[in-house]
Amino acid sequence: LQRLVGIQDPKVSDDLADFKTDLEKTAQANIAQWARPETQAGANSGTWLDALRNTGVESDRYNHAAVQRKQNLDAAQARFTNDLKNKDDKISTLETAKEALNNRVVAIEQEHDEEMKRLEAINDERNAEIRELKQKYSDLENESRARIEDLESERDEYRLSVVNLRSRLRDRQDLTFFTPDGMVDTVDHVRELCYLNIGSADGLQVGVSFSVYRKDNSGVGRARTEDIKGKIEVVRILGPHRAEAKILDEQLGSPIAELDPVFNPVFQSGQALEIAVVGAVRLDGLSRAEFHRQVQRSGSKVSVQVDDKGEFLDGRGQIITEDEARTLISARTRFIVIADLGDQSTANAELKDLYRQINENADVLRKEAEKRGIYEVGLSTYLEHIGYKRRQIAWTPESADGFPAVLPNGAHSRAVGARGAKRESSAVISGKFSKRRTPTSSSTGAISGLFKK
């Protein structure tokens, strides 16, 4: 019995109580050790049968649960197997689709590569054509540029030839298309006044000066001024066609007389004419401001100018651009007056740069005037035509910038009727005029016999 209940070394004892106690303790200890918690109640009940019965019940229950779990596991395994099969089928389908797509991609890439090769071939052809066209364009551009330079050179030569021929023709024929602005009606030599047949109705203003020509003149406004016999300045407007003028200058052997024509190149009845001026306005007794006033008195104005600093200026003296200056040479421009352009051969580097700029900008206006057939006239000649009388004729160190100075008249001419060449004056007074060769004669009071008859 001891071995049956798990006692490995059975003990022999005469004491039944001890035997029973040991046997119960051993059985309960084994039941407590090896039975599940649900069967331990049988051990506590004190009977092995209950413990065994409970153990059997629990074993059946666990077996039933195991069977149930086995069935659930089999069902789950079946579902897993089915899902795995479905997944494999789906993967197979996707693999097939992937392969088809890969084949399509390969085909598209192949088509793309072929198309790219075709486009690259076309691009290479186009690039070759572009390079060829660029080369042709470059050659044509170089050829055109050379041709343009040749044409511009020819044009400049033709222009220079035309200018020279026009200048020679003007010097040779000295044609004029101007007409007198009016005539002298009467002359009062005692008061040094004369009266003109032009007045307020002709737009005449006080201060306008005129050149007075001989009656038998060869034309007013010509380059040669030998027909000019005097200069007058309007001092009073007497009526629509009558004005009083002061005689500023006249030839002693040919005084101003009735019916002598008067002329001012920028005065025209009822019209406001314009002139252009290039260079420094430097004459004895005349400043740029005084020159503007003389032009304004004639009813005209200066439209554009190149000043002493080589800047383009408008009539108000405001600095303007070259393009703006070009536009101010218009059909209303009567003359382009050439003043002092400076000596570019000077050794002074600063003045040389200044004179170069003055000449360059002056050439811009001169070429624009040439296109429009506008006459060039020197400052001295222009002043002589408008009848301006210099307020100062004697040279002093303070009256001018210095000498030598260019004299427009008085030089020896090489042919009959030819214009005198320019020469320079050093302002040195000849010793011939420092003292008289003969003493001044005094009157004896005797009357010539020519006047006694």
- The pLDDT of residue 306 is 92
**Which numeric CATH code is attached to 271-409?**
3.40.50
More confident residue, 85 or 392: 85
219 phi-psi bin (left φ>0, alpha ψ -120 to 50, beta other): left
* Superfamily for the 179-264 domain: FlgT, C-terminal domain (2.40.10.410)
User: Residue 440 half-sphere exposure, CB side, CA atoms within 13 Å?
Assistant: 3
- The pLDDT of residue 391 is 55
- CA dist 401 and 282 (Å) reads 8
| Mean pLDDT of all residues in 300-325 | 90
Q: What is the pTM of this model?
A: 0.43
| Mean pLDDT of all residues in 411-422 | 48
Can 179-264 and 271-409 be said to share one CATH topology?
no
- CA dist 439 and 435 (Å) reads 10
- CA dist 345 and 351 (Å) reads 10
For 323-353, the DSSP string reads HHHHHT--TTEEEEEE-B---TT-S-HHHHH
List, for residues 175-202, the tens digit of each pLDDT value: 455 778 899 999 998 999 999 999 988 8
CB atoms under 10 Å from CB of 283, counted, come to: 20
Instruction: Please state, rounded to an integer, the average pLDDT across all residues of the chain.
Output: 78
- The pLDDT of residue 434 is 46
Of 12-16, 227-231, 298-302, the range with the lowest mean pLDDT is 12-16
Q: What tokens does 173 get?
A: 């024929």
Q: What tokens does 387 get?
A: 């009848």
- CA dist 54 and 45 (Å) reads 11
What SS3 class is residue 435? coil
Band of the pLDDT at 421, cuts 50, 70, 90?
A: very low
Q: What tokens does 138 get?
A: 């470059």
∠ CA 242-247-251, rounded to 5°: 125
| Mean pLDDT of all residues in 19-46 | 63
Dihedral angle computed from the Cα positions of residues 223, 227, 229 and 232, in that order, rounded to the nearest 10 degrees: -50
What SS3 class is residue 421? coil
For 265-307, the DSSP string reads TTEETTEE-EEEEESB--BTTB-HHHHHHHHHHTT-EEEEEE-
Crossing angle between the packed helical segments 16-34 and 48-173, to the nearest 10 degrees: 20
The domain ranges of the chain are 179-264, 271-409
Residues 6+ apart with CB under 8 A from 446: none
Contact 344/351 with Cβ under 8 angstroms?
A: no
- The pLDDT of residue 396 is 47
Considering 10-14, 218-222, 225-229, 246-250, the range whose residues carry the highest mean pLDDT is 246-250
| Mean pLDDT of all residues in 426-430 | 50
- The pLDDT of residue 425 is 52
Of 75-79, 257-261, 264-268, the range with the lowest mean pLDDT is 264-268
List, for residues 40-79, the tens digit of each pLDDT value: 544 455 566 666 677 777 788 888 888 888 999 999 999 9
- The pLDDT of residue 446 is 60
pLDDT at 329 over 70: yes
List, for residues 90-118, the tens digit of each pLDDT value: 999 999 999 999 999 999 999 999 999 99
- The pLDDT of residue 209 is 86
List, for residues 367-385, the tens digit of each pLDDT value: 888 888 787 888 887 887 7
What SS3 class is residue 295? helix
Q: What percent of the chain clears pLDDT 70, i.e. is strictly above it? A: 72
- The pLDDT of residue 137 is 93
